[in-house]
Structure 1
Amino acid sequence: MTPWLTADEDFPRSLPAGLTPADLARIDAAVAAHHAPSTRTTYASAWRGFETWCDQRGFTALPAAPEIVCAYITTQAERGLTMGMVTCTLAAIAHRHRVAGLDDPTDSELVTRVRRGLRRILGVAPRRRARPLFVEDIREILAAIDRTTAIGKRDAAIILLGFASAMRRCELAALEVGDIAPAEGGLLITVRRSKGDPHGAGQAIAIARGRHAESDPVEALGTWLRVRPRSAGSVFTRVRANGTVTSEPINAASVVRIVKTRAHAVGFTGDRITAHSLRAGHATAAAMAGVPLDRIAAQTRHRDLAMLVNAYIRPIASMQTTSSRHLGL
């Protein structure tokens, strides 16, 4: 038997002798793909936090006793951890124990009761949602961008395409030239893999031409592509400080930074402006314009319509139907 490690483990696992390094590499890749890269990163971070806390307190993290798990999550909740992060932390602890072949301490009745108690104490709603950016906001941001420069062309294209498409930041960063095809009245974009399509079946979304040249997402993307290196690969690439356009792809964090920087430059301050502000703005603006729910969901690719309604539709409907309008104040 040959001991080896998978990407999710820090302990040896025995396999039959005779397997080659290539065999193990293929198995390792398949095991790693069990979770999305973002999930693996989140689990790893949550596990490191738990392991560090256990080391500081002199507890054993693997295997962990249910009481230790409860002590950790209640301590973290007291420090401001949201219920969503508590759930994620428990999932990371459970995953680590399962891949080690150990009993899952989060399955215990004690942990279940503590989790339910924390749900009542902390609540389950997101602490703060991204502030939606509307068409007027987008125009104000664009007006402050020097679109004669390469970086200005790129940033304007990211902002307009992000708003018009309602794509997620990771989808914008992963977009490749071959994913874009011209269509009558605009563009068709293939999202090869996304949060709602983890197996990579692919999803097609349409982008219509804008009514105004300065805010036309199709024109903005074309303007950027004309200065981008003419090669296959990522649509959005890095621009050096001297203005040189490279073929190096940007990442999802770059999309966030671009949106924040450009929004803050015109006075949109606070941490609620994120790349998601573009997606949220699209859905909210469409709801305000009376676009049917099924059409909005088709664009945003929401599988859970309740999430779409609660996040974007209900707040708009509440303002339109509130009885406070008739109180005579």
Structure 2
Amino acid sequence: MAEHLPTPARATEGPLLPAEFDDELRQRLAALDAASDTHAQDHRPDNTTLAYRADWKTWTAFCEQLQIPPTAATRGTLRAFVDVLWNRERRAATTIDRKLAGVSVTLRQRFGLVVDPEATRSARELLKDYKRQAAENEEPDRGRGKAPAMRVDALRQIVEKCSDDIFGVRDRAMLLLGFAIAARRAELAGLRLRNITEDPDGNGLLVDVRVSKTDPRTVPVPYGENPLTCPVLAWQAWVERAQIADPDRHAFRSVHATGSVQPKGLTPQRVGDIITAAGARARIPVLFTGHSVRSGMATEARRAGKDPKAIAQITGHKPNSSVLHGYMQIVDRWDEEDNALIGIGL
């Protein structure tokens, strides 16, 4: 008779709660989680993947010293992790913050463990306390700091010094197009030939930036006023000289010492090295990095009076982004409306 008894009514109406999921549903959800993790991993920029790998290596070494399993990411262990990185290893705050993120991501992907948000928050609060104490004690900043902006005058000097051989043609195109789309080094390295197309009306190029830390964006790149610094002409010269046609291969590629263009694309690190070396060849008294073309474009656009929203559409920032606002301050601090000391009779 027991099998004919009615199923007990649920205590509450509405959708099932997680505790009420049956095994079949749990298995389907787990499979979806695994598939989504794989998809996200496939679309994550290479440098981000490498950074997370390094973060996990740092974390496991820390756990070995404490003789705890790497899955023990609690409030106490994460705070201790921050303490060791800051006080013993003298790491930069941005590096420590990213390592906390790398540990959380890896634990979720490898072990299905979700770190308690309160534990991560408390670790970051400790990091903020250390940063504040360092500022009060007037300690020098750690890390490389912000990349110096490559202004247009420096960019012009750099491309003038690019040679007319295949290496110079590639470097000139990469620098000018990178500046025009406010590219990170990983974004330049991730461009495929199919991502760069001619505008149907002949206005310039449409660059589809797919590999990005932020949302993908399409940047319309017009012809430049000066042929020397025109990103469209520089790109066309590279494509013609390199004879690249496969749409699925990298837009910017390695070049053999003999001058032959290789199928292999440039790594983000190599992109940054090329930008740094180009600045050194032009004897610019600033050490430019892979991020310099990005900050340079935002700075120059603001200097020319462009609206922050228009700049954000190219950089991929949110209009109210604190990072974008930092670029704006470089120019706005000398603007009459933004500098309270100008026009008051001093």
- How many residues are paired up? 300
| Contact 2:182–2:298 (8 Å) recurs in 1 | yes
Larger Rg: 2
**Residue 100 in 1 paired to residue 111 in 2?**
yes
Q: Per the alignment, in what secondary structure is the counterpart of residue 195 of structure 1? A: coil
TM-score by length of structure 2 reads 0.75
Q: Which runs of 5+ in 2 are unaligned?
A: 1-23, 25-30, 136-140
CA distance in 2, matches of 1:43, 1:54: 16
Name the SS for the 2:205 alignment partner.
strand
After TM superposition, list the pairs within 5 Å mapping 1:226-241 onto structure 2. 226-232=240-246, 233-241=249-257
1:121-200 matches, cutoff 5 A: 121-122=130-131, 128-147=145-164, 149-183=165-199, 184-197=202-215
Q: Determine helix, strand or coil for the equivalent of 2:333.
A: helix
1:121 counterpart SS class: helix
Match of 1:205 in 2: 219
1:34 aligns with 40
| Two-structure CA RMSD over aligned residues (Å) | 3.2
C-alpha displacement of 1:212: 1.6
Give CA-to-partner distance per residue, 1:146-168, whole Å, 9 cap, x none. 12x00010000001111122222
Corresponding residue to 1:285 among 291, 300, 310: 300
Paired residue secondary structure (1:190): strand
Q: Which residue of 1 aligns with 2:270?
A: 254
The residue correspondences of 1:296-311 to structure 2 (distance < 5 A) are 296-311=311-326
SS of the residue corresponding to residue 335 of structure 2 reads helix
CA distance 1:210–1:107, change in 2 (3 Å): same
Deviation at 1:112, TM superposition (A): 4.3
Counterpart amino acid of residue 119 in structure 1: K
Q: TM-score, normalised to structure 1's length?
A: 0.79
Deviations 1:146-202 (A, max 9, x none): 12x0001000000111112222222222222222222223112222342222xxxx5
Shift of 1:288: 0.5
Using a 3 Å threshold, how does the CA distance of structure 1 residues 189 and 120 change in structure 2: closer, same or farther?
Answer: same
Percent of aligned pairs with the same residue?
A: 25
Give distance in 1, aligned partners of 2:224 and 2:260.
29
8 Å Cα contact 1:69/1:106 also seen in 2: no
- Return closer, same or farther for 1:277/1:112 CA change in 2, 3 Å cut-off: closer
Question: What are the Cα deviations for residues 90-138 of structure 1, in whole angstroms up to 9, with x where unaligned?
Answer: 2333344445355746744xx6445313213215999621111111101
Q: 1:67 to 1:203 in 2, by over 3 A?
A: closer
The residue aligned with 2:28 is: none
SS in 2 for 1:247: strand
Q: 1:193 & 1:274 partners in 2: Cα distance?
A: 19
| Stretches of structure 1 lacking an aligned partner (at least 5 in a row) | 1-15, 17-24
- Find the aligned partners of 1:105 and 1:58 in 2 and give their Cα distance: 21
CA distance in 1, matches of 2:204, 2:111: 51
Which whole-Å CA distance do the structure 1 matches of 2:264 and 2:245 have between them? 11
Q: Does 1:81 align with 2:88?
A: no
Once the two structures are superposed, what CA deviation does each residue of 1:21-49 show, in whole Å capped at 9, x if it has no partner? xxxx9996643333524444322211211
CA distance in 2, matches of 1:29, 1:268: 48
